[in-house]
Each structure stands twice: as C-alpha cells, then as structure tokens.
Structure 1
Amino acid sequence: MAPTSEPLTAARILEATEEVLRRHGPAKATVVDVARALGVSHGSVYRHFRTKAALREAVTERWLDRTSASLSGIVAEDGDPEARLRTWFTTLFEAKRHKAGDDPELFATYMVLIGEHSAVVDRHIADLTGQLTTIVEDGVRRGVFASASPAVTARAVFDATGRFHDPCYVRDWEQPGIDDEFEAVVGLVLRGLRV
C-alpha cells in the first residue's frame, strides 16, 4: 500500500495490516512493516492500537465481521423463516469457501491469528448463533418451527452444520459431492425444525 495524504485512521491501519500479513505472513509481519506501508512512524500505529496483539486481534475481528455482516441482512428480512435459514447457511458456506479459495495465503494467516485470539472467535460464534436464534424465534412465532428454546436450537443447528463453516474442514469444501452433502444436511436440519 502506497503512502497517501489521507488521515491515519484505524480502518486504514487495518487495511494495511491485512496487506502486510498477506505479504509476510503472521510470523514475520511487524508493526514497523505496517507503518512503513502507510508511510508513518510505528508510534503512529501504536496510537490507534496499543500493542501488536491488539492490532492482530482487531484485524482478525474485522475479517470475521465481514462474514457476520453479509449474513445480518438475511436475518433482517421478513420472509419465510425456512427459506431464510436455508439462505443463511448457504451464504455462510459460500463466504467461508470464498475466503479459503480466493486468497489461500491470507486464509492460512487468519487461521493462525484466530488461534491467538479465541475471545474474538467466541464473539463471532455468539454473533452467528444469535442471528440463527432470531430466525428460529421468528419461525416459532409464525408456527413454522418447533423449539422450546430457540437459543439452544440455534446452537445445535450451528454445531450440526459445522462441516460447512468450521475452518478445520477447509479441505472438504472443494471435494466432489460437497454441495450435495451440504444440501442433505441442511434439508435434514430444516425437516427436524418443522412443526
């Protein structure tokens, strides 16, 4: 990233950090590299992020939040809860596959960073299961889904579909037949939720 005369913001620092991580990987990327990419001193970066760990945590959270944001619109829709749930899982699976396939080096880097920042991952999973809870609650309210506890059901559904969004299964995502397997699992989950 070439230095610009734009004001230094947290967002610009995170963009530069992502580029530095892509180029150098998590083991070699430093705050000095980020500052150099921005054309500023490393002290300027530290004014926004007090430590290297805080910077790495923020860039990891930003990466995960992109997925959450793409799903939140589906949750906000007023359509059929079953169709929304199917679309939500399809969108999640596609987002994860694109992250892994479109930029494998950066995906590998983020897998390292995620391992360092389990609280960020916990918040991400809580956000995703919260979104699912909202859809399940709507389904129960409309008489489409049966669930005594939508939050428990949402977490169970999230866990049951883990093969299609948990990064530990990344090698499976490009295997022949994975789309059929995905459809079978989501179909089974939806049948299990119906009243």
Structure 2
Amino acid sequence: MNAATDAMRRPTAEETRARIEDTAERLFKTMGYQKTAVADIARELGMSPANVYRFFPSKSAINEAIARRMLSGVEAEIWAIARSDTPPPERLAQLLRTLHQRHVGLFFAEKRLHDMVTAAMAEHWGVVENFIHACVTAFRHVLMDGMAAGIFARRDPETTAIAIKQAIIAFVHPVLIAECLGHDTSEDQLAADLDRVVALIVAGLKTAD
C-alpha cells in the first residue's frame, strides 16, 4: 500500500473509538468531566455529535471505556509484579505500594479526573468490580507462592487475599484517598501510613521462626 492510498484509507471502527476515547480523556483532564459535553468531544474531532453517538451511546459510555482502559493498564502492571521472581514478601509489599501509587497518580495528580472516577464508580461498578477481582487474584497468587516456599504460614489463600484487600482499602479507594488528602494528610504521610500497614501484613503472614 503506497502513501497516497494509506492516506485515503478510512479509519476502522476500532481506530475511531480509540480517537474518541483519547480526545474525551484529554478534555476530561482539561475541562473537567461534568463540563465536557459530547458536542465538545465531537468538535475537537471535527465530526458531528451524531457520529460520536454511532460509536458510544452516551458520554457515560465513553467514560466507562476510558475507566476500563486506565484500570487495564494498572492490572497489567500488578500482574507483572505478582508473577516476578522477587521473594513473595517483597513482591506483596511492592504490589500493595504500587496499587496505592497508581491510584494516587491516576486519580489525583490530574485533579479534574476525580469527577470522572466518581462517576465511573457510581455508574459502571462492573468495570471496578472486575479490577478489584484481578487485584485479589494477584494477592492470592503471591500468597500461594509464599506458602509453597514455606515463607508464609499456610492458611486459606482466598480469604487471606480478601482480608488484605480490606486492610488496605483506605489507601486504594479513590473516595477514601480524597478524604485523607483533604484533611491535612500529605501524600508522603499517607504513603508512610501504608508502609506501616504493609509491614504488619507481611509480618503476620510469615511462619513462626
């Protein structure tokens, strides 16, 4: 295919959907989720709102796609950690710290994304629920490796993974993070608090010497 033919090629539906998502995410960051309308997204893309609606039935559906893409990136990262060759205690600690760092980075470094995240949690819980399940499964994977190596005491890995999720909920839940950071708690203080919780979790998992 020559350059002229390639330039004339119509974008695929997948490519158009990706362009809409990219443009919407940029506008959500600059204008804010609530202030961005489908007409704004269409204008940026040089298309009509009706054309945007051919690919997404609503702004909410665009938000759902962006949330799924954002969380998929974090999920891939946590699984890379969970499957690494690092000793299980260090791996679990890295996994929990990374989850916290990515949530703070994704949802609060870009302040205007907070409304988008809040809307996604309210309207598209299935996307969030799938991500939580992936996190718990990654915890379980590391726990089973630690138990097999005789480093962690043997206990039910599923219920233990769920307990770990509950123990760190304040450090990974967007609304709770916002509450903490909004009450004179700095990001550094919150990270230090998490380090203490992680140390307690890891110590409690280890077999008695």
Q: TM-score, structure 2 length as denominator? A: 0.81
2: CA distance between counterparts of 1:76 and 1:48? 36
Q: Is the 8 A contact 1:147 1:153 kept in 2?
A: no
Query: Which of 94, 99, 106 matches 2:113?
Result: 106
Superposed displacement of residue 88, structure 1:
0.6
CA gap of 1:168–1:51, structure 2 versus 1, over 3 A, is: closer
Give 1:194's aligned residue.
206
The answer as to 2:24 corresponding to 1:17 is: yes
Give 2:194's aligned residue.
182
Give 2:79's aligned residue.
72
What are the within-5 Å matches in structure 2 for residues 27-46 of structure 1? 27-46=34-53
Superposed displacement of residue 166, structure 1:
1.2
2: CA distance between counterparts of 1:131 and 1:33? 39
Tell me the amino acid that sits aligned with residue 27 of structure 1. Q
Give 2:91's aligned residue.
84
Q: Is the 8 A contact 1:22 1:109 kept in 2?
A: no
2: CA distance between counterparts of 1:20 and 1:32? 11
**Quick one: percent identity of the two aligned structures?**
29
The answer as to 2:149 corresponding to 1:142 is: yes
Paired residues in the alignment total: 192
Give 2:180's aligned residue.
172
Segments of structure 1 that go 5 or more residues without pairing to the other structure are: none
CA gap of 1:11–1:147, structure 2 versus 1, over 3 A, is: farther
1: CA distance between counterparts of 2:34 and 2:189? 35
Q: Is the 8 A contact 2:34 2:115 kept in 1?
A: no
Q: Is the 8 A contact 1:64 1:124 kept in 2?
A: yes
